[in-house]
Amino acid sequence: MSASTAPEVAPLPLPAVRFGTDGVRGSANEDLTPEVALALGRALVTVLSEEGEKRPSILVGRDPRWSGDMLEAAMIAGITSAGGDAVSVGVLPTPGVAYLTARSTAGAGVMLSASHNPVGDNGIKFFGPDGFKLSDDEEARIAELYATGSPRRPVSTRIGRRLADPAAIARYIEHLTSAVDVDLVGLRVVVDGANGAASSVAPQVYRQLGAEVVTIHCSPDGANINDRCGSTHPEVVRQAVLTDGADLGIAHDGDADRLVAVTHRGDIVDGDALLAILARQAHLTGRLAHGNVVTTVMTNLGFHHAMRGLGIDVLTTPVGDRYVLEMMRERGLTLGGEQSGHLIDLDHATTGDGVLAALEILEIMRTTGSTLAELAEVMQRLPQVLVNIPDVDRDAVAGSERVAAAVRRAEARLGDAGRVLVRPSGTEPLVRVMVEAPEQAMAEEVAAAIATAVREDCGVRG
């Protein structure tokens, strides 16, 4: 068939993108395709150009999951095709990309990661030149340009270039080790890197400060990230600590912005307890800005009771570290976090940093001469049940009278001794039901009743 008679083939339309609480996320090569990454890269450069950047430079990092190579190549193609320079920093924790962006002349940073999600997923997170996540308005402008198509298509030497920064990891490690003043000699630590972005960085940092480090799940092969390991499976590092007789265990997630720890006795210390430890120490040393700490509606009631006893005011946001961060910046506060292990210290970082948080906990252990188990006694947790409900219409939950009635019955039963929270996930296609009660059995019974109402009234219709 000659060129003159060849049929025209219309390009496939780009799928819609949705910015959640942590950027764009989806199934790699299905929801999150190379075409999506390319278009988002071009849209980002267009936004920066609208703000006066003639040839914007954008840092690009990723976690080691299989689809990272593909999406990194597409993102870089999008950036350079729109006239921006893409600086590849390779496999690096999300907070590392944020830190390096803020301390460079880059107009933005991009992290390719689905955090704690399984290997089949991936995501795109954007950071501004200050290292903070982009605002809702900035993300909305990128989404608008993505949907309408970016007009920027420079040619010749006005096309951008791909650059590399091989010293990026070393600079991030130097930042972490200089953020604390602690000698870890004599401490034996088990580190679970989730076969993710922390697998190289975290053990190096703890060893440089003198700790004896035992590593598990620090051998990423692209397919094993978050696979029954890391901060979402703390029972794994718990078993390693007990078997090894270590002083504590540290578990990160796929992009290392989370931390969950384990005591020498095998007790799991989640983000609530870790935040309580950090808040108490900051309060005692006069470093807790305005005497406030920020957390989310998912935080255990035991945390609130502990902070009240210490004279610390707790400010609460919707679930998502971006909302915690927004309130911290609005109120001039420095410390906040989530139960999941996102811990934010604005004195040293612009986003949650699991390795930094671990170092700060280790510093408190050394300063006070206390074990992690002793420090964790700062709060007493109420029994909490979390039920994740897939395959339902998460947008219909808020308007369901049946679900609302189930919640009212639960709240009447619990009174002031517990609480209920029903919410759609901001990062996964789930509805989450959380119940706290004086007794575990009661929490489970109440959560099951509400979950049944969600499934029966909000199930996805065929």
- What gap in Å lies between CA 194 and CA 266, rounded to an integer? 19
Please check whether residue 131 is in contact with residue 348, taking contact to mean a CB–CB distance below 8 angstroms: no
Please check whether residue 37 is in contact with residue 71, taking contact to mean a CB–CB distance below 8 angstroms: yes
| Burial class of residue 127 in the structure, from the number of CB atoms within 10 Å of its CB (0-12 exposed, 13-18 middle, 19+ buried) | buried
- What gap in Å lies between CA 111 and CA 63, rounded to an integer? 8
- What gap in Å lies between CA 72 and CA 86, rounded to an integer? 10
Please check whether residue 126 is in contact with residue 23, taking contact to mean a CB–CB distance below 8 angstroms: yes
- What residues contact 170, with CB distance under 8 A and at least 6 apart? none
Residue 21 DSSP one-character state: B
Find how far residue 423's CA is from the centre of its chain: 18
Six-digit token pair at 17? 């993108």
Q: Which of 115, 150, 231, 400 is catalytic?
A: 115
- What gap in Å lies between CA 103 and CA 16, rounded to an integer? 33
Catalytic residue status for 115: yes
- What gap in Å lies between CA 163 and CA 166, rounded to an integer? 10
Catalytic residues: 115
